[in-house]
Amino acid sequence: APLDEVTAVWSEFPGASLMLPVGRAFDVIEVAEAAGRHALARLERMGLPVGPVAATPDGRAHFFVAPGAAAALPDLLYRMGWDVPAALDLRGLGPGTHITAPPSDRGDLGPVRWLRSPDPDSASQPPEARLLLGTLAYVAHRSGT
């Protein structure tokens, strides 16, 4: 829905949860939250461009990346030397999926929250997955998740 429609509905139902369609403006790389926090710290220390990162109440971290990442993920991981990407607790979410937008609530589970909120200057251009993927895969592998 366009932003004005969402704003109108949300004003009628304050606190309602919002779902974002994945695959148009962004894809998501999902990892365990502990691994995601560790990777986020490493990525920021390295000065790499990191887009928004959300944490879900079920212990997952969502890294927002450029569209097309979910489809390219197996090939990108293979080219980086990860022969068995299924062994990593890392997956791509792309077209046809939706995520809960922070600060929406997931009922009894609790809220989705930002680990790194969107930067208004770069929110419309999430980073390419290949820039983050090596660190995310390494940390996911090392954490044993």
Over residues 82-137, the pLDDT tens digits come to 876 567 889 999 999 999 999 888 888 899 999 999 988 877 899 999 999 999 99
Instruction: Supply the pLDDT for residue 113.
Output: 96
Instruction: List the domain range (segments joined by +) for residue 130.
Output: 3-143
CB 18 within 8 A of CB 110: no
Percentage with pLDDT > 70 across the chain: 96
Higher pLDDT residue, 15 or 85?
Answer: 15
Report, as an integer, the average pLDDT of 35-60.
95
Sign of CA dihedral 32, 112, 124, 3: positive
> What's the structural domain count of the chain?
1
Neighbouring residues of 57: CB distance < 8 A, sequence distance ≥ 6:
106, 109, 110, 111, 112
Task: Please tell me the distance from the alpha carbon of residue 114 to that of residue 111, in angstroms, as a whole number.
Answer: 10
Q: Model's pTM, two decimal places?
A: 0.91
The H or E element that residue 109 is part of is none
